[in-house]
Amino acid sequence: MRVDLTDSLSRLLPGEAFGHSVPSSLWAVLRTGVETVVAPGSTEEVATLLKWASEMGVRVVPIGTGAHMCPRYPRDPFIVLTTSRLKEIQHYEPADLTMTASAGASIRDLSTETAIYGQWLPFDPPDVPNRTLGGLVATGLSGPLWAGYGQLRNHVLGATIVCGDGRALRLGGKVVKNVAGFDILKLMVGSRGELAVITSVTVRLFPLPVVDQLLVLEATDVSELVSTARAVATAPIMPASIILSGTSDGGRLLVRLHGAKVSVEADQKSLEKHTGVSFEVRNTPEAESLLVHKRDSRINAELAVRVWALPSRIGVLLDVLKKVPGVSLNADVYGGSVRAYLPVNLSDIESSLAGLQKDIEELGGTIRALRIPAEVNASSYFAKPLVDEGELAAGLKRAFDPHAVLWGIE
Amino acid sequence: MASLLTGKVSSGMTQPLPSSVASDLAEIVGHEHVITDPDRLLVYESDGLTAYRRSPRAVVLPSSTEEISAVVGLLHSNGIEVIPRGAGTGLSGGALATPEGVIVGTARMNRILKIDVENRIAIAQPGVINARLTEATNPYGLYYAPDPSSQSTCTLGGNVAENSGGPHCLKYGVTARYVTGLTVVLAGGRIVELGGVGRDPYTTLDLVGLFVGSEGCFGIATEIELRLLPITEGVRTLLGIFESVESAGRAVTKIIASGLMPAAVEIVDGPTIEAVEASVFAAGYPLEAGAALVIEFDGTEAGLDLDADRAEQCCLEEGAIEVQRATDPEHRMKLWRARKKAFGAMGRIAPDLLVQDATVPRTKLPEVLAGIDNIGNRYGLKIANVFHAGDGNLHPNILFDRQNQNELELVERASKEIMQLCVDAGGTITGEHGVGVDKREYMTLVHGPAELEAMAAAKRVFDPASLFNPGKVLPAVEVKEANESRSN
Ligand SMILES: Cc1cc2nc3c(=O)[nH]c(=O)nc-3n(C[C@H](O)[C@H](O)[C@H](O)COP(=O)(O)OP(=O)(O)OC[C@H]3O[C@@H](n4cnc5c(N)ncnc54)[C@H](O)[C@@H]3O)c2cc1C
Ligand SMILES: Cc1cc2nc3c(=O)[nH]c(=O)nc-3n(C[C@H](O)[C@H](O)[C@H](O)COP(=O)(O)OP(=O)(O)OC[C@H]3O[C@@H](n4cnc5c(N)ncnc54)[C@H](O)[C@@H]3O)c2cc1C
């Protein structure tokens, strides 16, 4: 980092904020550009840093663990702001089922605490235990459990944020129903670090289900399971999640039922009656490991896309995606999305992606890159920066980050 | 400041609409759908909060997104403010006219455009009455979950604008959870589509979420895509009778903390029971009861008795005098009656009723209820509580007589103290009725200047010239600053 900048910043923040690093995976993607990694220890320190950055014209990329990789990063030199020193649980009232914790707290640590009181955060995006609370909220991902519990955005009750220009704001509150003013809190869920740095979050928790039962159906080809999966999604009961996976080894339908023992058993019967099939039952811990495997087994995939369409189109989406040799598919049948992990030795990644995009858009769907090897020219598959997302998004970007200091890495 | 004391909003007289604008409006929507006759405008003088009244310059009733767009374009190009209006059941003065404003009503936009059974969504125009969506989707085994107590009259557009809740939102969540997409008409008449099932929700900002709850200040929702749920198999309804509202409040905390997930937990307090039992709606609640708790479970038939048993146990442990369980649908209706008819019944024992709305953390219910009781006693006012207890969403209803000037002043002071009490307990000034004109001045109890300015900035992104429902939600000082910053 340029000496004068380092000097001026080190005078503003305590020594503990410096000397940090980010995972080597992130460095690999970001390659050059990173001036320094700063770990503020409080909302005030985040505000100091961002005010300074606004004045100096320095860009800041906020990260949790920095595990989320994407080749789109600022060209100018920038600072990485890590929430690794913001980890504490600030407030937990089990009887209210609400918790406030700092943004850098890991979901694993929070879950350990809530499990003591028989409560949890019912969200299961990939790699969820390793995510930070701030990163989870910034990406907004709920995972397939949104079928039974609703999306993360509906359960974020409050947050403390620091806008790009260093203004600290306290949004929402600690109560489950709150309509006191315009809901700018909602805007932060899924804002990908582009509007503000989230420093703490209040979430609504749920009682852990008494029984967490997994129903499994297997077939040699995922397409054979589509009609059953859709029948489950339109059955008179609502499962906690409905996942359909397909690899060259065959297909699997996973239906998760939550509730008391008697009601879970009754739900299974009613699903079997409705679909005309009988499921295999897996109980914890076998069910757990199967679900975690499905969720995270491709943790190091270098080529992954997410496809989205109306839930009723899941079958045709799978038909298109299945054609890619060596593909591995994971669908959220309720949400209407499919994660496709493609082999990197695919002969021509660019034209394969272009072909997929064409077919999927014809079906009324969208395709979006999650991970793409750096050498592939694929910027059009990544989410656009907010300034290019239309007038409203661009206007909101200017309102919260007037000097365009913040740069989310997604 | 708007005031209950005056019964009117003090600033500004309504301006008549230039006749050229009126005829241009008639051109768009048809002569019969532009109302300027003062007698016919009377209906639009207030919403459900009748303390505030002002006649609009005119009311326009378009029938499609395109008509709304043309109407808004015309009005805005003449610098005329637009006040969206649904059924006018709002309880915070949200649909109150401004002196310069024209009301754009959605009464004619009452069609359900699509019911997509496969994907469990419906697309409706904003003037569709909430309960009608459930009626229309019931034949497919589906229903629309948010159920404000006004559901037989309020509109889906109003629900979106207020992010309305209802008794069953405890388990199912409020309106925001169900709105998946919107077509909106923004400043100048621009039509924009936001969200939509089938679109990747993680690629851009949650503009749908931001629009929901914007109280008509960002634009007009003209088509609403909503998620539907499958009708649940069974239901169990319990009525717990308690000596005091505090012990009923403790039972609520116990039920929720025990890991049960009731569909609804509602409290009706002693004064409300008295009012109901004295009315035609009498439900046979014991008159000496200090409070009653209506608890409902729904879902798979098989688990329900177990849940109901556990809830009953919680009530008994907190000193319930008795717990009844509905044996058939008629009995269920009876147990709900005091809750559902409370407002109507109160109307019979006092000339005026101020329905308050605030949320506190559930665990604070007993102390806050005791505090409200205290405030009522201190001011010599009768306060009846009937509310969504499971969510900690209070509705202290202050009974009074508008003709009694003295009492009016006390009502205002008591209201403000109740708000402060709820905020001090870690709560907020409104859980579902919105800020409107009524609670603008309370906003500073929960938000600092920076937060209010951020809200003003979000409004400016949608409505830079503040021509949608001005003078609502944000306190007066914030609006002034926003105007100044605009002219800079
Ligand atoms: C196969 C596979 C697919 C995956 N797909 C996705 C995917 O589609 N989307 C996805 O997000 N993750 C995805 N992940 C997970 C991801 O790789 C990381 O596990 C996860 O992002 C780590 O979360 P984190 O909290 O450390 O946040 P980070 O990875 O550090 O950051 C994630 C995003 O949130 C922002 N952010 C983080 N903290 C804050 C904060 N406090 N305030 C403001 N902004 C903040 C960052 O700028 C960035 O945009 C996937 C993982 C795998 C294995
Ligand atoms: C007896 C009674 C019981 C009630 N119970 C509940 C309850 O349980 N839960 C609850 O949450 N509320 C309740 N309410 C309040 C009220 O019914 C709700 O706020 C309802 O959503 C208002 O709908 P409406 O159609 O009457 O809207 P209106 O009162 O006409 O308007 C309300 C606000 O919405 C705006 N608006 C209306 N339509 C649109 C549109 N299409 N686009 C943009 N903005 C628009 C208006 O400008 C205004 O700011 C109750 C009211 C009464 C009278």
C-alpha closest to that of A388 among A399, A377, A380: A380
Looking up residue B241, the CATH number of its domain turns out to be: 3.30.70.2190
| pLDDT of B71 | 98
Ligand 1, closest atom to CA A136? 25
CA distance A84 to B466: 41
**Could you give the angle at the alpha carbon of B206 between the alpha carbons of B205 and B208, nearest 5°?**
135
Say yes or no: do domains A210-296 and A298-376 share a fold.
Answer: yes
Q: Which of A270, A364, A368 sits opposite B200 (nearest CB)?
A: A368
Amino acid A33: pLDDT: 64
Domain A210-296: CATH architecture, name and number where available: 2-Layer Sandwich (3.30)
User: Do A201 and A133 meet the contact criterion of CB atoms below 8 Å apart?
Assistant: yes
Give the torsion sign (CA, B59, B64, B69, B70): negative
In a domain, B440, yes or no: no
Q: Are residues B354 and B293 in the same domain?
A: no
Asked if A178 and B231 come within 8 Å (Cβ–Cβ), the reply is no
Q: Which residue has the tokens 């189109």?
A: A313
Of the candidates A153, A184, A191, the beta carbon closest to that of B454 is on A184
Cα angle B53, B59, B60 (rounded to 5 degrees) comes to 155
**Same domain, yes or no, for B341 and B354?**
no
Residues B339 and B359 in one domain: no
| Pocket of ligand 2 contains residue B161 by CB under 6 Å | yes
Residues B12 and B98 in one domain: yes
Cα B246 from Cα A348, distance rounded (Å): 69
Assign residue B50 the CATH number of its domain: 3.30.43.10
Residue A33, Cβ neighbours under 10 Å: how many?
Answer: 14
Predicted ipTM? 0.96
Q: Where a domain ends, among B297, B324, B348?
A: B348
Q: Same domain, yes or no, for B83 and B139?
A: no
Question: With an 8 Å Cβ cutoff, are A181 and B455 in contact?
Answer: yes
**Please, how many CA atoms are within 13 Å of residue B130, restricted to the half-sphere of its CB?**
25
B225 with B126, same domain: the answer is yes
What is the enclosing helix (H) or strand (E) of B54?
none
Cβ contact A298:A247 at 8 Å? no
> Across A41-130, where does the E strand assignment appear?
59-63, 78-82, 89-93, 98-102, 119-120
CB of B488 less than 8 A from some CB of A? no
Angle between helices B245-257 and B365-379 (to 10 degrees): 160
Final residue in a domain of this structure, among B314, B348, B382:
B348
Angstrom distances, CA of residue B237 to CA of B138, B173, B326, B387? 21, 19, 5, 17
Say if residue B386's pLDDT is above 70. Answer: yes
Instruction: Tell me the sheet residues that pair with B224.
Output: B124, B182
Predicted pLDDT at A229 = 98
Give the closest of A180, A259, A310 to B430, CB-based: A180
Contact B203 A368 (CB under 8 A): yes
Amino acid B12: pLDDT: 57
The CATH number linked to B429 is: 3.30.70.2740
pLDDT, position A69: 55
User: Residue A68 Cα, ligand 1 centroid: separation in angstroms?
Assistant: 4
Asked whether residue B442 is domain-assigned, the answer is no
Q: Are residues B174 and B131 in the same domain?
A: yes
In a domain, B481, yes or no: yes
Interchain proximity B435–A179, CB inside 8 Å: yes
Tell me, yes or no, whether B402 and B298 share the same domain.
Answer: no
Q: What does the block give as tokens for B338? A: 């005091």
Are B194 and B241 members of one domain? no
Rounded distance between C-alpha atoms, residue A112 and residue B174, angstroms? 29
For residue B97, is it within any domain?
Answer: yes
CATH architecture for residues A298-376? 2-Layer Sandwich (3.30)
Residues flanking ligand 1, CB < 6 Å: A 62-68, 83, 103, 126-127, 130-132, 134-136, 138-139, 141, 192-193, 197-198, 298-299, 301, 304, 306, 370, 408-410
Query: Phi first, then psi: what are they for A396, rounded to 5°?
Result: -70, -35
Structure confidence at residue B463 (pLDDT): 98
Q: Could you read off the pLDDT of B412-458 as tens digits, one per residue? A: 999 999 999 999 999 999 999 999 999 999 999 999 999 999 999 99
Nearest to A180 among B141, B393, B446 (CB): B446
Residue A19 distance to chain B (closest CA, Å): 33
The identity of residue B435, as a single letter, is V
Note whether B354 and B343 are same-domain residues: no
Residue percentage of chain B with pLDDT more than 90: 82
Residue B146 is part of which domain span? 112-230
Give the residue with greater pLDDT, A301 vs B226: B226
Number of domains in chain B: 5
What's the CATH architecture for A5-82? Answer: 2-Layer Sandwich (3.30)
Same domain? B26 vs B98? yes
Spatial separation of the C-alpha atoms in residues B127 and B111, rounded to whole Å: 8
Does residue B96 fall inside a structural domain? yes
Pick the CATH number of A89-207 from 3.90.230.10, 3.40.50.300, 1.10.1130.10, 3.30.465.10: 3.30.465.10
Atom of ligand 1 nearest to the CA of A304: 1
pLDDT band at B6 (very low <50, low <70, confident <90, very high): very low
**Contacts with A312 from chain B: Cβ below 8 Å:** 116, 118-119
Q: Which residues of chain A fall short of a pLDDT of 70?
A: 1-3, 24-34, 69-75, 408-410
Residue B12 within any structural domain of the chain: yes
Picking from B51, B47, B39, the residue whose alpha carbon sits closest to that of residue B7 is B51
B454 and A399 within 8 Å at the Cβ level: the answer is yes
The Cα A205–Cα A156 span in angstroms is 10
In a mutational test of the B interface, the residue from A50, A154, A175 whose CB has the highest number of chain B CBs within 10 Å is A175
Q: Give the one of B260, B306, B458 whose C-beta lies nearest to A262's C-beta.
A: B306
Contact yes or no for A19/A82 (Cβ under 8 A): no
B258 burial type by CB count under 10 A (0-12 exposed, 13-18 middle, 19+ buried): middle
Burial class (CB in 10 A: 0-12, 13-18, 19+), A116: exposed
Q: Residue B278's CB: how many other CB atoms inside 10 A? A: 13
Cα B65–chain centre separation:
24
Instruction: Say whether the peptide bond before residue A285 is cis (omega within 30 degrees of 0).
Output: yes
Question: Cβ distance B137 to B115 under 8 Å?
Answer: yes
Query: Residue B127: CB within 6 Å of ligand 2?
Result: no
Residue A71 confidence (pLDDT): 54
Instruction: Say which range, A356-370, A376-390, B296-310, B338-352, has the weakest mean pLDDT.
Output: A376-390
Scan residues 269-288 of A and list those with Cβ closer than 8 Å to B: 270
pLDDT in tens, B87-117: 999 999 999 999 999 999 999 999 999 999 9
What was the pLDDT predicted at B488?
A: 39
How far, in Å, is the centroid of ligand 2 from the Cα of A305?
41
Residues of A in Cβ contact (< 8 Å) with B461:
392, 395-396, 399
Q: For A296-347, how does the pLDDT look when each residue is reduced to its tens digit (9 = 90+)?
A: 888 778 889 999 999 999 999 999 999 998 999 999 999 999 999 998 887 7
**Are B390 and B324 in the same domain?**
no
Q: How far apart are CA B162 and CA A171, in angstroms?
A: 18
Q: Do B118 and A312 touch (CB under 8 A)?
A: yes
Considering only CA atoms, which of B306, B198, B231, B203 is closest in space to residue B262?
A: B306
SS3 A119: strand
Contact B197 A365 (CB under 8 A): no
Domain ranges of chain A: 5-82, 89-207, 210-296, 298-376
